[in-house]
Amino acid sequence: MRKIGIFCFIYWLGWHASFGQEAQVIELAPVEIIPTDKILVYSNFSKKDREKNGTVRGPSGGKKIAMLSGFKNLEKSTIELEGLEFFFNYNWTEDSSGFYIQPVVVEEDGLPVGDGVDFPEKYLVTSKLRNRLFIDLSSKGICLAPQERVLLGIRFLENVNPETPNKFDITVLSGKMDDSTYLLYWDGRLPEKIYDSGKHSAGLKYSVVYKLKE
């Protein structure tokens, strides 16, 4: 499929100046998400969706971009984001040392949500996570009013081993998507839509863990 093929040639470019300094590194651990009356989960996939393997290549050059998907609060009350879960198909036989990522949650103009949440940390992904990763947002205070929409996604930063090509195998969905997929650049440009929502769309596979705001 042409749309999925495009994912394989997206170049996630460069290093932003903020990562030129030493950033806090958080090593991700396996997390089992069990929905309860207090913890709710929205997933943008079902058994009807077609999963595809996509490859993100980079970084190289001077700029970094992130892949984002739209997310809307469909609850009748304000929600607070507790975490994001992303899925990938990384080939650990090629590089067992791991790689770094950064979560992204921004408004439609590309600005951070809430009180300037910009995720200065970088997160270490290792083989113990297998094919899914969970990023804890419970300390970030990201709240969304009913029908409020944000863009959320992930930056693939670099491999731990500098001798290994920065190639990241991710899980994407193709088919009928409820929201669009975007690219976000470091230089302040508005998010660029690369796939419209609809029955012939594509995007990241993700889940949002949240709770109702009291």
pTM of the model: 0.83
Q: How far apart are the first and last CA of the chain?
A: 45
Q: What's the confidence (pLDDT) of residue 64? A: 64
Q: What's the confidence (pLDDT) of residue 116? A: 63
Cα 19 from Cα 106, distance rounded (Å): 19
Q: How much of the chain is helix, strand and coil, in % rounded to 5?
A: 5, 45, 50
**In what helix (H) or strand (E) does residue 4 lie, and over which residues does it extend?**
helix 2-7
Q: What's the confidence (pLDDT) of residue 20? A: 43
Q: What's the confidence (pLDDT) of residue 27? A: 93
Q: What's the confidence (pLDDT) of residue 7? A: 46
The first and second tokens of residue 27, run together, are: 């090593």
**In what helix (H) or strand (E) does residue 109 lie, and over which residues does it extend?**
none
Instruction: For the chain, list residues with pLDDT below 50.
Output: 1-21, 61-62
Cα 182 from Cα 190, distance rounded (Å): 10
* Domain spans of the chain, in order of start: 2-14+24-212
**Region of 61 on the Ramachandran plot (φ > 0 left; ψ -120 to 50 alpha; else beta):** left
